[in-house]
Chains A and B, each alone.
Chain A
Amino acid sequence: MRITQGTFSYLPDLSDDQIKAQVQYCLDNDWPVSVEYTDDPHPRNVYWEMWGKPMFDLKDPEGVMQEINECRQTFPNHYIRVNGYDRRLGRQTTALSFIVNRPQEEPGFRVDRVEMNDRVVKYTLHSYATDKPKGQRYE
């Protein structure tokens, strides 16, 4: 099951040139760009691992592209995303976030039902990827 998270996730995967153009848009808006990766794609998992520090004062997307490619080389079967952070007072939030790398096989999720008191049923999502321990999930 294809994970759809962040911007552009319903589109086909972005090519490198398209990624560069998006990063350029962030830099033109004075948003520092960072690269993050994870092997746990649960939608509630907001804490992805940081790949290096966020990049400040860049003018050209080539520097970000270099980091993305290094991250892809190290984690070819992880999810990798690029974040643009808008630090302006009043916004101070991630302004743009999109996936630039995904595993070849994405096992997807199942719904778990838990019966509570008074026949109340609670639903939760369970990621098949997290059945295996960390580090072996996408190999």
Chain B
Amino acid sequence: MTDEQTTPQAEGANIQTPAEDTALVDIDTAYREANVQQLLDELDRELIGLKPVKSRIREIASLLLIELLREKVSLSTERPTLHMSFTGRPGTGKTTVALRMAKILHHLGFVRKGHLVVATRDDLVGQYVGHTAPKTKEMLKRAMGGVLFIDEAYYLYRPENERDYGQEAIEMLLQAMENHRDNLVVILAGYKDRMDTFFQSNPGFHSRIAHHIDFPDYSLDELMEIAELMVRQQMYVFDDPSRQAFCEYLELRMQRPHFSNARSVRNAIDRIKMRQASRLVQQGGLIAKEELARIDVSDIRQSRVFQGELNGQ
């Protein structure tokens, strides 16, 4: 047995180890065996839009794969930093992408379990002296072997209150991000501008995060595609007039304050389903299967967005 054969292999990527420097490494085989292509394709297929995000994820995946191969031929010195920050408006798919990211990292063998633990300020910061450290530690322990996703991370830091316990949680997080790099990947998420201020006041975070990914807002066409996908997944159908009405609805809704992209679309569809249901119940009698699935134009036109009464708010 040579030494190379006894080196531990990362799961899912059984790459032959060359014995000499001149030996060739097969990237294609490694790529296939890590099942990354499949995950990336899934990402492309199931998430609409988000072009820059997808290309960044592809880049990261390639980087990790090469890192893995380099490790095999003992070129790598230490594990790359994998902590990330996702910035973007609400409803742009940060959590969904984080879930996929956890899977990709798991397939490449950079995290052992590949689960996602979602935490907010409430889960990390305590209410009295000595409460914060055990709380943060518990969350960190839970996330070991997977990904810790901290939503709206900037709430951890409250400069206006110097006695705030958030600072303690931040210090523990920084320490864990450094010491448990093998066990844990931290993803911070939030609005772009507030994250930027957060990083400015906590330079420790900025330097420990390797990948900053910005999520763009969806365009009208992309939102329409998302709506179609959601409707199809829930076994409903738009007919032509109702599709047109929904498009107009989105146009109006996008200009309103508190528009949160895909989440608003989902909520709108939920409300439309409710109106469709009450319309059918009122109508009574016998109905066909298609009628149960079809969304009528009136279900959409009833929305308050069309009444214009809330435009001023």
Q: In whole angstroms, how far apart are the Cα atoms of A55 and B144 in the complex?
A: 12
Choose one: A52, A55, A57, A62; the contact of B183 (CB below 8 Å): A62
User: Any chain B CB within 8 A of the CB of A66?
Assistant: yes
Interface size counted on chain A using CB atoms at 8 A? 12
Closest beta carbon of chain A to B180's beta carbon, Å: 8
Tell me whether chain A's interface is mostly helix, strand or loop, or mixed.
mixed
Q: Mark interface residues in B113-150 (1 if CB within 8 Å of A CB, else 0).
A: 10100000000000000000010001011101110000
A60 adjacent to B112 (CB under 8 Å): yes
Choose one: B112, B115, B141; the contact of A66 (CB below 8 Å): B141
Tell me the nearest residue of chain B to A66, going by C-beta. B141
User: Any chain B CB within 8 A of the CB of A71?
Assistant: no
Count how many pairs of residues, one from A and one from B, have CB atoms less than 8 Å apart in the complex: 35
Across the interface, which residues of A come within 8 angstroms of B140, CB to CB? 63
29 contacts between A and B (CB under 8 A): A52-B134, A53-B138, A55-B138, A55-B141, A57-B142, A58-B141, A58-B144, A59-B113, A59-B115, A59-B144, A59-B145, A59-B146, A60-B113, A60-B144, A60-B145, A60-B183, A62-B112, A62-B141, A62-B144, A62-B145, A62-B180, A62-B183, A63-B140, A63-B141, A63-B142, A64-B141, A66-B141, A66-B144, A67-B141
A58 adjacent to B142 (CB under 8 Å): yes
Interface residues of B (CB under 8 A from A): 112-113, 115, 134, 138, 140-142, 144-146, 180, 183
Across the interface, which residues of B come within 8 angstroms of A53, CB to CB? 134, 138
Across the interface, which residues of B come within 8 angstroms of A64, CB to CB? 141
Closest 6 CB pairs of A and B: A60-B145, A63-B141, A62-B144, A60-B144, A63-B144, A59-B113
Q: In whole angstroms, how far apart are the Cα atoms of A21 and B141 in the complex?
A: 17
Q: In whole angstroms, how far apart are the Cα atoms of A63 and B137 in the complex?
A: 9
Across the interface, which residues of A come within 8 angstroms of B183, CB to CB? 60, 62
Q: Which of B138, B141, B144, B180 has the most CB of A within 10 A?
A: B141
